[in-house]
Amino acid sequence: MNAKEALPRYFRVLDEKELPYYMICKGVPVRSSLDSETYLLWEEHAELVEKVRSIRVPSPVAETNLLDLKIELARRMLNPCRLCERKCNVNRLDGEAGYCRVKESKVSSKFVHWGEEPELVPSYTIFFSRCTFECVFCQNWDISQRDTGQYISTDDLANSVERMLGGVRNVNWVGGDPTPNLVYILEVLKSCNANIPQVWNSNMYLTEDAMALLDCITDVYLADFKYGNDKCAGRLSRITRYFEVVSRNHAIANKQAGIVLRHLVLPGHIECCTKPIMDWIAENLDTSRIRVNVMDQYRPEYKARDFERLEKRLSHKEFLQAYRYAEGLGLNII
Ligand code: SF4
């Protein structure tokens, strides 16, 4: 199955036959006052998101619209912060920082990326500082574990996205991880009017509520699936409940949009990680909507040399074993 068959909506947006989801959201009016109680806003959110899926002809921008509602709900999730499943007990509205150490959103770099999967390039990739994980082998540790970026106003970033129209196939929100920056990203989209699909490039450790806010915002998930068990996740990324959370979110993403799923094969982790992940995908997801990238580019970065089996690059033999296993399950491999 080729990319066009797996990600039909994304290609329809690229062919200008449909609008990206976030543009449709702007034309969907909200009845409730945004001061309403949170449970009422969630009820209306659920109702409106269902409506968006069936809209083919977009309406003009409504004064208070579904994107405004998503921004309001995302803001309410900052105190205490529960954008990701770490659920830190901090008030980010008051400038406190949790595990990810994000206070204001900082962009480390933004550029047209030619190194992503073929169906995604060229991709306007926006890298945020900091992450909700601390992977000992992080290939982007200089961005994910440090405050390298600078704050850019939402209007300025929206302008920079609009200038990319015609030159890129998508906007690719990444880090670190984009999750701690959800409010900021939605605010950029509020200021933006470019018919460009939105790619959520993430470790997928979001809460269910954060996933709900991405529904009808994300056109394609570029979703990591790193570990096949919680023991490896705890040891290598200092994270708990990894498999439960990340598998749940892949199942949710699978219903919302197309997925380009990435699995970086780790040396010595074929039996404990690669195989259980591939088995789970084959058994639990609608694989006709997923492209799977079995990645061979592991290299020992950051603290990896301190960890057994991670001190060397992946051997070709191990990669072939991982690739053939995924292939044998009939997955749609890139
Ligand atoms: S996004 Fe950051 S502050 Fe919020 S729950 Fe996750 S790690 Fe904690």
- Tell me: cis bond preceding 122? Omega within 30 of 0 counts: yes
pLDDT of residue 266: 97
Ligand 1 site residues, Cβ closer than 6 angstroms: 81-84, 86-88, 90, 98-100, 102, 132, 179-180
5 pLDDT above the threshold of 80: yes
54 pLDDT band, cuts 50/70/90, is confident
pLDDT of residue 125: 97
DSSP 58: P
Q: What are phi and psi of 9, to 5 degrees?
A: -65, -40
Question: What does the alpha-carbon distance between residue 331 and residue 285 come to, in Å, rounded to a whole number?
Answer: 10
Q: Tens of pLDDT along 140-151? A: 999 999 888 999
- Asked if residues 110 and 128 have their Cβ atoms less than 8 Å apart, the reply is no
pLDDT of residue 221: 98
Ligand 1 pocket test, candidate residues 86, 105, 245, most atoms within 8 A of CB:
86
1 pLDDT above the threshold of 90: no
- CA distances 191 to 23, 164, 176, 206, Å, are 11, 15, 24, 24
User: Which SS3 state, helix, strand or coil, does residue 133 take?
Assistant: coil
With tokens 């089996």, the residue in question is 309
Q: Which atom of ligand 1 is nearest to the CA of 179?
A: 1
Ligand 1 pocket test, candidate residues 84, 103, 202, most atoms within 8 A of CB:
84
Q: Which atom of ligand 1 is nearest to the CA of 102?
A: 2
58 pLDDT band, cuts 50/70/90, is confident
37, exposed or middle or buried, with CB in 10 Å at 0-12, 13-18, 19+?
A: exposed
Q: Tens of pLDDT along 268-304? A: 999 999 999 999 999 999 999 999 999 999 999 999 9
Question: What does the alpha-carbon distance between residue 206 and residue 245 come to, in Å, rounded to a whole number?
Answer: 8
pLDDT of residue 178: 98
Q: What average pLDDT does the segment 65-86 reach? A: 98
Q: Tens of pLDDT along 156-198? A: 999 999 999 999 999 999 999 999 999 999 999 999 999 999 9
57 pLDDT above the threshold of 90: no
User: Measured on CA atoms in the order 207, 210, 216, 217, is the torsion positive or negative?
Assistant: negative
Question: Which of 104, 88, 86 shows the shortest CA–CA distance to 147?
Answer: 104
Residue nearest to atom 6 of ligand 1 (CA): 84
Cα of 232 from ligand 1 centre, angstroms? 21
Residues 6+ away with beta carbon under 8 Å from 2: none
Instruction: Give the H/E segment covering residue 316.
Output: helix 316-328
Cα of 54 from ligand 1 centre, angstroms? 33
Q: Tens of pLDDT along 319-334? A: 999 999 999 999 999 9
Residue nearest to atom 5 of ligand 1 (CA): 87
Cα of 90 from ligand 1 centre, angstroms? 8
230 pLDDT above the threshold of 90: yes
Q: Token pair of 268, please?
A: 């010595």
What is the dihedral angle through the alpha carbons of 178, 182, 185, 190, rounded to the nearest 10 degrees?
A: 160
**Domains of the chain from N-terminus onward:** 3-328 (3.20.20.70)
Q: What average pLDDT does the segment 116-123 reach? A: 94
Partner residues linked to 171 by β-bridges:
124, 198
CB atoms within 10 A of CB 313: 14
For the chain, percent of residues with pLDDT exceeding 90? 94
Cα of 87 from ligand 1 centre, angstroms? 6
pLDDT of residue 26: 96
Question: How many Cα atoms occupy the beta-carbon half-sphere of 96 within 13 Å?
Answer: 12
78 pLDDT above the threshold of 90: yes
The mean of the pLDDT values for the chain is 96
Question: What does the alpha-carbon distance between residue 225 and residue 284 come to, in Å, rounded to a whole number?
Answer: 14
Question: What does the alpha-carbon distance between residue 334 and residue 332 come to, in Å, rounded to a whole number?
Answer: 7
- Tell me: cis bond preceding 267? Omega within 30 of 0 counts: no
DSSP 266: P
59 pLDDT band, cuts 50/70/90, is confident
Cα of 261 from ligand 1 centre, angstroms? 23
Q: Token pair of 87, please?
A: 């659920």
- Asked if residues 229 and 189 have their Cβ atoms less than 8 Å apart, the reply is no
Q: Which atom of ligand 1 is nearest to the CA of 97?
A: 3
Strands 170-174 and 198-202: parallel
Cα of 60 from ligand 1 centre, angstroms? 35
User: Which SS3 state, helix, strand or coil, does residue 112 take?
Assistant: strand
Q: Which atom of ligand 1 is nearest to the CA of 81?
A: 4
- Asked if residues 60 and 27 have their Cβ atoms less than 8 Å apart, the reply is yes
